[in-house]
Structure 1
Amino acid sequence: MVKDMDLTQPLPYIGISLIKIIWSVVAFIVGWIVAKIIVSVFRKGLDKTTLPEILKDFLSNAIYALLLVAVLLIAVSLLGVNVGSVVIGLSAVIGLVLGFGLQDTMTNLAAGFWIALMRPFDKEDVITTNGLTGKVSNIGVMSTELTTPDNKVIFISNKDIWGSPIINYTRQPIRRVDVNVGVAYGTKLDEAIQIAIDFMKNHPLVLNDPSPAVVITELADSSINLQLRAWVKTEDYWTVMNDLLKGIYEVYTEKGIEIPFPQLDVHLKQ
């Protein structure tokens, strides 16, 4: 029965021969493999350039998507379908999609392109956007992926990122560490400030240029508030922050400088 089957005869209901279906499937599989190879070679070429990782990823994903569309059209053409009519049909579908309010897809694509081109952040940068903070682990054509310090993964649509303020904590090579501390009224301020400056200068990760500084930020209800300002390499920020918070308390305690807690004096009149 199988030997007598004519592969060139159209199948019932669909009007397409089995041989055309076989060739179409084979073409799609081969095309998919070739697209993978082309994108891999393209990515290796990009890796030799000075383009940022975020732009390399975006371009690679965009080329891969275009190649898959081309492969799909070739596979459809092997079925004997007029590719021109398919393209027109796809255009109509896209028009309907946009008309039904799903234009966010195109907006996300455009936003992803501008993010990759303008580079407000790169891979591995730590950013805050839309009230969310994390390290950029990936940027896709539709969304950007952030990893939080406690290892949660956040996906944010590109249009939400592009339309919102972005704080990049790691773009610059150095950052300033600000540590607030209060001293009691009656403290010799010049002495307290000099002790804090000497303490920061002795820290091995604090930079000498710009030099450390201490400023008075407020005459509060229970204390005179000082702010220690130390410049460090960006990668050392949290280490120095922790060291200064712990160290200034220990140094002031050792030198007899009081760090007061909030208090309220109540006077009763009889």
Structure 2
Amino acid sequence: MVGWEEQIPYIGITYFQLISALVILVVGYIVSKVLVSIFKRSMRKTKLPPLVIEFLGRFLAILLYTTVLILGLGAVGISVSPLILGLSAVIGLILGFGLQDTFTNLAAGVWIAALRPIDLGEVVEVAGKTGSVSGIGLMSTELKTPDNKIITIPNKLVWGSIIVNYTRMPTRRVDVDVGVAYGTDLDRAIKLAMDLMKSHPKVLDEPEPGVVITALADSSINLQLRAWAKTEDYWTVKGDLTRGIYELYTKEGIEIPFPQLDVHLKKE
């Protein structure tokens, strides 16, 4: 029968120490998960935005897991104080050579969570990538693309780049470009486009929709339909107006020309 105080061969620790360490790690992990869950639940009762709560929850989890790991190491007889001092020295050395970016990302994450240029669920363009914000961590921000890919961007790039937030405002202007042939009755073409927008149930009355001439191009006179819609209706309205203006102009005999080039041959 194996005694609790008997040392495990080749390891130098007793069975009691090993069991104690395993219990500390398992129980500590479970308790940490529960504490983080309680912390997030209590924070949701405040006015803090979800993004800040998620950020603080992850930070607390890292602190708790680190504490549990140190306690587990202490249970098997490893002196924790020299370990902490040694880790501090190593971390300080590494920081001098290569972890500046890590703390830059950490600081950027704090600013993002505090100032909220982006928030969970918002559709944004940042660092040249577009997607909905699915999470923000200590070091990076996650975007989910419309085709269900996850893009992870270091926080320093998020904070240091231009951010375009597509869904922060409650309404957006829907622009639809269309070209008509030279010689077209512009007043009639504009009236038809206006009637199309005003008849759409999701186009807002205020601000009032409009049609402008944007260019006298090589092959067409370019018009732009400008309609306002609720942000969540943006793509529905854009798709409906794009299809609708094509079908309407075709039905009314208004030509939508394709690019063309007239070549004149001169006979010598």
TM-score scaled by length of structure 2: 0.91
1:66-85 alignment, distance < 5 Å: 66-85=63-82
Say if 2:125 and 2:164, in contact at 8 Å, map to a contact too: yes
- Structure 2, gaps ≥5 residues long: none
1:25 aligns with 2:22: yes
The one-character-per-residue Cα deviations of 1:178-200 (angstroms, maximum 9, x if unpaired) are: 01111112222222212211110
After superposition, the C-alpha distances for 1:184-240 in whole angstroms (9 at most, x for unaligned) are 122222222122111101100000001101111111111111110000011111111
How many Å separate the matches in 1 of 2:149 and 2:266?
57
Q: Which residue of 1 aligns with 2:164?
A: 167
CA separation in 1, counterparts of 2:266 and 2:29?
89
2:147 corresponds to: 150
Match of 2:255 among 255, 258, 264: 258
What letter matches 1:259 in structure 2? I
| SS of residue in 2 equivalent to 1:257 | coil
Match of 1:106 in 2: 103
Output the amino acid matched with 1:60: G
> 1:221 maps to which residue?
218
Partner of 2:89: 92
Cα distance between partner residues in 1 of 2:264 and 2:156: 59
CA contact (8 A) 1:97 1:103 kept: no
Alignment of 1:193-204 (within 5 A): 193-204=190-201
Whether the 8 Å CA contact 1:182–1:223 is kept in 2: the answer is: yes
Counterpart of 1:51?
Answer: 48
* Cα-to-partner distance string for 1:21-46 (whole Å, 9 max, x where unaligned): 33233222222221111111111112
In the alignment, structure 1 segments of 5+ residues that lack a partner are none
User: 178-187 vs 201-210, which deviates more?
Assistant: 178-187
Q: CA RMSD in A?
A: 2.0
Q: CA deviation at 1:107?
A: 2.3
Greater displacement, 64-73 / 169-178? 64-73
Aligned to 1:181: 178
TM-score (norm 1): 0.90
Does residue 129 in structure 1 map to residue 132 in structure 2? no
Matches of 1:208 and 1:174, distance apart in 2: 12
Percentage of pairs with the same residue: 60
> In structure 2, do the counterparts of structure 1 residues 76 and 252 end up closer, same or farther at CA, with 3 Å as the change threshold?
same
My pick for the range that moved more, 95-104 or 222-231, is 95-104
Q: Is contact 1:32–1:68 with CA below 8 Å preserved after alignment?
A: yes
Question: Matched residue of 1:167: which SS?
Answer: strand
- Output the amino acid matched with 1:160: L
Q: Distance in 2 between matches of 1:150 and 1:79?
A: 49
Structure 2 vs 1, CA of residues 6 and 207 (structure 1 numbering), >3 Å: closer, same or farther? Answer: closer
Alpha-carbon separation, structure 2, partners of 1:11 and 1:237: 67
Asked whether 1:239 is paired with 2:236, we answer: yes
Contact 1:187–1:257 at 8 Å: present in 2 too?
A: yes
Provide the C-alpha distance between the structure 1 equivalents of 2:190 and 2:31, rounded to a whole number of angstroms. 67
The 3-state SS of whatever aligns with 2:206 is: coil
CA drift of 1:100 comes to 3.4
Q: Deviations over 1:43-99 (max 9, x none)?
A: 111222232222111111111111112222233333444433222112112113223
